[in-house]
Amino acid sequence: MTTASMARKYEPRTAPDTKVATSAMIASLAAEGYDTVSAPFGTALVEAAKSNDRIVGLSADLSKYTDLHVFADAMPERFYQMGMAEQLLFSAAAGMAREGFLPFATTYAVFASRRAYDFIAMAIAEENLPVKIACALPGLTTGYGPSHQAFEDLAIFRGLPNMVLIDPCDACDVAGMVPAMIAEPSPVYARLLRGKVPKVLTRHKPDYKFQLGKAQMIRDGKDVLVISSGIMTMRALDAAEQLERDGVDVAVLHVPTIKPLDAGTIISEAGKGRLCVTAENHTVIGGLGEAVAGTLMRAGVHPTFRMIGLPDEFLEAGALPTLHDLYGLSTQEVATQIKDWL
């Protein structure tokens, strides 16, 4: 924690509906009104492994916190506990891929993107090996402060050649991305939602199915286009319902694959004369927003453009509802920002 953040710790917060009095450091992701699915990643991986004996699972002492324990319990002979050594985790995964296995390596997103980046770059990405990296606590999904908040992981990996990037919204995306990752010959980095994960997309679009590299319109609208990924698609959909009561018609385009980006769909939808807003659980530096902005600029499409995302700074520790209000990721804050921009 920096000196400045320590000083701010004792200052009164100005976020709407302030909840800073709570002492909880990690809170469940608010998903009111949605059913949940327990451990969709671990469950989907077990199902896939039943018919594919090349699949193995590896963890750096965090299987319980990445839902890989479901796989370990079902197939202990194909599970490898590497201990608290992330560089070893990814080097071993690379070696297994060279021997014909299909390794799923899991840890926290901060440890993969910061601590083990060089090993992923040299041993996996440069060799274009089919290692699948699934990492929990992406963006602002933990209150434990900068040591655990992977607010810049997508920016770090976007610049890495051969690496596919996935930012799932819900349990449907998480379950659907597993077979897609298996089928993809390149290395994949996937942000991971774990535990009890809400079912969001099929409530709004019953026929929704995850497709690697494809953006999908979950809800159409004539006034605003929100281009979102990860949990911010849920927040955008909830904000759209709230804004509808105020006469604002909001479309939500879900972009679960950050790289390769579905440029064609984004360009087509952004060219329809609506306010264009990107929403991401990631710093505004180097993530979905800047990827979309660059895509539109290169295509000569110039809508009124705004970004919702985390600021370019180390984030505070605290309870997630408080932090999401503070940094503009809550449903109410998303709705407020959109109204202010109209």
- How many Cβ atoms from other residues are within 10 Å of residue 69's Cβ? 18
The span from the CA of 284 to the CA of 296, in Å, is: 16
Check residue 151 and give its pLDDT: 98
Which structure tokens are listed for 124?
Answer: 């996996």
Residue position matching structure tokens 């051969």: 162
CA dihedral 260, 262, 266, 268 (to 10 degrees): 140
Check residue 17 and give its pLDDT: 45
Q: What angle do CA 90, 280, 173 make, to 5 degrees?
A: 65
The span from the CA of 290 to the CA of 307, in Å, is: 9
Domains 3-32+200-341 and 36-198 share a fold: yes
Residues 6+ apart with CB under 8 A from 168: 174, 177, 190, 191, 192, 193, 210, 230, 256
Cβ–Cβ under 8 Å, residues 67 and 37: no
Can you spell out the DSSP letters for 66-99?
TTTHHHHHH-GGGEEE--S-HHHHHHHHHHHHHT
pLDDT in tens, the chain (342 residues): 455 555 655 455 444 444 443 333 444 576 778 999 999 999 999 999 999 999 999 999 999 999 999 999 999 999 999 999 999 999 999 999 999 999 999 999 999 999 999 999 999 999 999 999 999 999 999 999 999 999 999 999 999 999 999 999 999 999 999 999 999 999 999 999 999 999 999 999 999 999 999 999 999 999 999 999 999 999 999 999 999 999 999 999 999 999 999 999 999 999 999 999 999 999 999 999 999 999 999 999 999 999 999 999 999 999 999 999 999 999 999 999 999 999
Closest to 174 (Cα-Cα) out of 201, 147, 207: 201
The CATH code that applies to domain 3-32+200-341 is: 3.40.50.920
CATH superfamily for 36-198 is Thiamin diphosphate (ThDP)-binding fold, Pyr/PP domains (3.40.50.970)
Sheet holding 275-283, edge to edge: 216-219, 250-254, 224-228, 275-283, 305-310
- Give 57's strand partners: 79, 104
The span from the CA of 230 to the CA of 187, in Å, is: 20
Cβ–Cβ under 8 Å, residues 131 and 93: yes
The span from the CA of 84 to the CA of 91, in Å, is: 13
Query: DSSP letter at 316?
Result: P
- The structure's pTM equals 0.93
Annotated catalytic residue, options 11, 86, 127, 316: 86
Residues 6+ apart with CB under 8 A from 181: 104, 132, 134, 166, 188, 190, 212
Check residue 21 and give its pLDDT: 36
Cβ–Cβ under 8 Å, residues 17 and 332: yes
Residue 86 annotated in active site: yes
Can you give the residue ranges of every domain in the chain? Answer: 3-32+200-341, 36-198
